[in-house]
Chain A
Amino acid sequence: MDFSFTEEQTLLRNTVQSLLQDKYDFETRRKVSKTAEGWRPEIWAQFAELGLLAAPFSEEMGGLGGGAIENMIIMEEFGRHLVVEPYVETVVIAGGFLRDGGSAAQQEAHIPGIIGGETVWAFAYAEPQGRYNLADLTTTAKKDGSGYTINGYKAVVLGAPWAQKLIVTARTSGGQRDRDGVSVFIVDKSAAGVSTRDYPTVDGRRASEITFENVKVDGDALIGAEGKGLPLVEKITDQAIAALSAEATGCMKELNTATVEYCKTRKQFGVPIGKFQVLQHRMVDMFMAYEQSVSMTYMVNLKLEESDAERTRAAAGAKVQIGKAGRYVGQQAVQLHGGMGMTDELNVGHYFKRLTMIDTQFGNIDYQLKRYSEAA
């Protein structure tokens, strides 16, 4: 039993912290998210330079030999600064698919581009009728000579406006919601037949609706075995959930610190409002919600390589915990800041918005409760 970080991991956290303190203050973030581009490629290049994009890859793949714990450290710090750049989409998800499901040739072809910061990826999996069910697919990929032809529609593809490459789930056989028959493809966003419509999201990011119309890909675009992709998709989305959990704890940590500080300094009725017991207990509940979330975040990140059933319970459990805690901490942080908490110019509302959206990503509380109870 050991919950301490290694020297390298502490060093990694310090590296991320000093970069973000230096380059990622709230005002800059707020301004950037309102520009047409919505992100900073130059920050992405710095992430690459400092090795952040290499952290969770093995040394054989050109990485730094880390894993889930490194992702967790980076994502917690990213959460504290509300980083919008697509680390989850590119490193955790696309990197995860390539590392855990890709062939040696695919790894060789694509991981260096991720590590070097040259290639940004997005994960096109959700469909309007499918809600959170990863297998509910109407997008199809039909065998076409040695390759495939993809047709379909993907909803709310986060980070897609910034991406060059897409990981796309499509049905190669079976009925609309069958577990069998799901395949995973690498698709160039610039391929003929891919069309995107971009838009901003409420948490200051960008996403796209993507239509695939007779998009041709080669046989080597397929990740893993044809029709057997769902277990891999589930495994990688659980890795994404583990990373988002860490991001959420970073957001909550900042909200709790800001709220306690505000209640110590804001005076009404002649005393700091933090003297009122009803608010003290509220902040204690916020603190406990955060601590419980940290615990679940550690647990899911430590269990990503366990059996499918155990990993599922850990990921679903963590997602429920951060969903509930994120809602409570976010709402109460706004409430205790009063009118100031409602404003765009204070960071509190921005953390609250991000926490709300983390709950909707990869299945909200209700969905994960069901998933947990079915896996138990």
Chain B
Amino acid sequence: MDMRFSPEELAFRDEVREFIANNYPHELKGARRGEMSKEDILKWHRVLYKKGWVVPHWPVEYGGTGWTITQRYIWNEENARAETTPLLPFGLSMVGPVIYTFGNEEQKKRFLPGILSGDDWWCQGYSEPGSGSDLASLRTKAVREGDHYIVNGSKTWTTLAQHADWMFCLVRTDPDAKQQEGISFLLIDMKTPGITVRPIITMDGSHEVNEVFLEDVKVPAENLIGEENKGWTYAKFLLGNERSGIAGVARSKKAIERLKKIAGAELVDGTPLMKTGEFSRKVAEVEIDLSALEVTELRTLAAESKGRGPGPEASILKIKGTEIQQRITELAVEAVGNYALVEAPRLETTGNEFVPGPEGSQGTAQDYFNMRKTSIYGGSNEIQHNIIAKMVLGL
């Protein structure tokens, strides 16, 4: 057992740190994804694509870097440290691995290049108005007609569908089979007639999620991944990957740094809030939770590198990771005090451009509101508890 970096790993860290410093588009520094244009969101992706570093977690034959688990960990750390725009997971971490694992050669050739280059923007057609936690009850149906499927139904909470070129979509192809056994995994071109995207504005004023309506949408049968009615297997594989990325340890470290900065500038009777015992103890508590999660994640990654997992333990990362993210934003609201009331401009806010308050405090409450989504999405934290109870504890 050894938790220290080797000299080679330290050299790797210096290399990637320097690369990020020299190549991260400087105009994006400090920007929030919620307010960025499609092209801005993709800028860092394109830089990494050129460098060959856009999918360190993929097998080398499909474009991976061949980095060790530790190197990938260092890479994530350094990106968080530099606050780079997080890469969108829909292509790179969700459908990409499904395609190279379960897709045919034709599909790999057709879809992987666009995912890697960023030319194809993907969105996730999973949840439906009536199927959230109980995803397998989904009702969007696809009926085979000749060499096409005709898809009817609706999807919801579809993140950034407003920019998407493609959607990977769970559809019911056998209405008579047991729930999980009649589902298929279809790739749908968002330009197909019959698709309507309606924005959903969240309580912080952001437009991140959408409803997607599908009415007689004609999808070529060659866009079916794997076998018909076996889609649930691929969907679960994808959800496992989604959960392992969800811990967000490196980003939370950065968020704690920002929290400390805010609490260091805020004064209580002339003394920085961060120097008052009660607040610094609360920050210490969340920092300790995060250290534990970091090592838990490293243990999971180490097991994964030996070919085990990501198993149901990934649910620990989801639950603890999101609780920590939420707690940090909650503490930030406390730290900011009176100025937490100020609304920062977002797409659907009142168009305010005057945002008073100490540096770094802008939008703190809205970030807190927005982060409530994390214990709901990706399988709610209640569902994650069920998974651990059933799969790990055998209850």
Chain B residues closer than 8 Å to A130, beta-carbon distance: 267
B203 and A349: CB pair below 8 A?
yes
CB of A319, distance to nearest CB on chain B (Å): 14
- Chain A, Cβ-Cβ closest to B386: A278
A155 and B373: CB pair below 8 A?
no
A133 and B268: CB pair below 8 A?
yes
Whole-angstrom CA separation of A364 from B340 in the bound complex: 11
Chain A residues closer than 8 Å to B348, beta-carbon distance: 344
Chain A residues closer than 8 Å to B381, beta-carbon distance: 335
Asked whether A268 is an interface residue with its Cβ less than 8 Å from the other chain, the reply is yes
Asked whether B239 is an interface residue with its Cβ less than 8 Å from the other chain, the reply is no
12 CB contacts below 8 A, A to B, read A132-B337, A133-B268, A177-B270, A197-B354, A197-B356, A200-B350, A331-B372, A338-B380, A342-B376, A343-B201, A344-B205, A366-B334
A360 and B369: CB pair below 8 A?
no
CB of A56, distance to nearest CB on chain B (Å): 25
Whole-angstrom CA separation of A339 from B339 in the bound complex: 28
CB of A273, distance to nearest CB on chain B (Å): 8
B341 and A158: CB pair below 8 A?
yes
Instruction: List chain A positions with a Cβ less than 8 A from chain B.
Output: 33-34, 36, 38, 126, 128-133, 136, 155-156, 158, 176-177, 197-203, 207, 209, 267-269, 273, 276, 278-279, 327, 331, 334-335, 338-339, 341-345, 349-350, 352-353, 356-357, 360-361, 364-366, 370
B269 and A268: CB pair below 8 A?
no
Instruction: List chain B positions with a Cβ less than 8 A from chain A.
Output: 127, 130-134, 137, 156-157, 200-205, 209, 266-270, 273, 278-279, 330, 333-334, 337-343, 348-350, 352, 354-356, 358, 365-366, 368-369, 372-373, 375-377, 380-382, 385
B385 and A126: CB pair below 8 A?
no
Chain B residues closer than 8 Å to A343, beta-carbon distance: 200-203
Known: A129-B270, A202-B342. 17 other contacts (CB 8 A): A128-B358, A130-B267, A131-B268, A156-B339, A176-B270, A201-B342, A202-B340, A269-B133, A338-B132, A342-B372, A349-B202, A349-B203, A352-B372, A353-B203, A357-B341, A364-B337, A370-B278
Whole-angstrom CA separation of A176 from B270 in the bound complex: 10
- Chain B, Cβ-Cβ closest to A197: B354
- Chain A, Cβ-Cβ closest to B276: A366
A278 and B365: CB pair below 8 A?
no
Chain A residues closer than 8 Å to B132, beta-carbon distance: 268, 338-339
B201 and A279: CB pair below 8 A?
no
A360/B267 contact (C-beta < 8 A), A201-B341, A268-B134 known: no
Chain B residues closer than 8 Å to A34, beta-carbon distance: 350
Whole-angstrom CA separation of A296 from B271 in the bound complex: 31
- Chain B, Cβ-Cβ closest to A38: B350
A350 and B203: CB pair below 8 A?
yes
- Chain B, Cβ-Cβ closest to A206: B350
A356/B365 contact (C-beta < 8 A), A202-B343, A278-B382, A334-B372 known: yes
CB of B290, distance to nearest CB on chain A (Å): 20
Give the residue of A267, A269, A360, A370 whose beta carbon is less than 8 angstroms from that of B340: A360
- Chain B, Cβ-Cβ closest to A125: B338
Give the residue of A36, A207, A352 whose beta carbon is less than 8 angstroms from that of B341: A207
Whole-angstrom CA separation of A327 from B333 in the bound complex: 12
Whole-angstrom CA separation of A199 from B363 in the bound complex: 13
Give the residue of A132, A200, A339 whose beta carbon is less than 8 angstroms from that of B352: A200
Whole-angstrom CA separation of A181 from B273 in the bound complex: 25
Whole-angstrom CA separation of A34 from B349 in the bound complex: 7
B337 and A131: CB pair below 8 A?
yes
Whole-angstrom CA separation of A334 from B368 in the bound complex: 13
A360 and B202: CB pair below 8 A?
no
A129 and B267: CB pair below 8 A?
yes
A209 and B343: CB pair below 8 A?
no
A342/B337 contact (C-beta < 8 A), A199-B356, A200-B343 known: no
B279 and A366: CB pair below 8 A?
yes
CB of B161, distance to nearest CB on chain A (Å): 14
Give the residue of B201, B368, B376, B380 whose beta carbon is less than 8 angstroms from that of A356: B368
B269 and A136: CB pair below 8 A?
yes
A344 and B202: CB pair below 8 A?
yes
A352 and B369: CB pair below 8 A?
yes
Chain B residues closer than 8 Å to A344, beta-carbon distance: 201-203, 205, 348
A209 and B356: CB pair below 8 A?
yes
Whole-angstrom CA separation of A344 from B202 in the bound complex: 5
Whole-angstrom CA separation of A238 from B76 in the bound complex: 49
A155/B352 contact (C-beta < 8 A), A268-B134, A278-B382, A366-B279 known: no
Chain A residues closer than 8 Å to B137, beta-carbon distance: 268-269
Whole-angstrom CA separation of A364 from B200 in the bound complex: 32
- Chain A, Cβ-Cβ closest to B202: A342
A364/B334 contact (C-beta < 8 A), A131-B267, A155-B339, A342-B376 known: yes
B373 and A342: CB pair below 8 A?
yes
Whole-angstrom CA separation of A199 from B267 in the bound complex: 23
A131/B338 contact (C-beta < 8 A), A197-B354, A339-B156 known: yes
A199/B340 contact (C-beta < 8 A), A129-B267, A339-B156, A344-B203 known: no
CB of A195, distance to nearest CB on chain B (Å): 13
Chain A residues closer than 8 Å to B156, beta-carbon distance: 339
Chain B residues closer than 8 Å to A268, beta-carbon distance: 131-134, 137
Whole-angstrom CA separation of A361 from B337 in the bound complex: 8
- Chain B, Cβ-Cβ closest to A330: B372
- Chain B, Cβ-Cβ closest to A362: B338
- Chain B, Cβ-Cβ closest to A136: B269
B338 and A156: CB pair below 8 A?
yes
Chain B residues closer than 8 Å to A197, beta-carbon distance: 354, 356
Chain B residues closer than 8 Å to A364, beta-carbon distance: 334, 337
Whole-angstrom CA separation of A342 from B372 in the bound complex: 8
Chain A residues closer than 8 Å to B202, beta-carbon distance: 342-344, 349
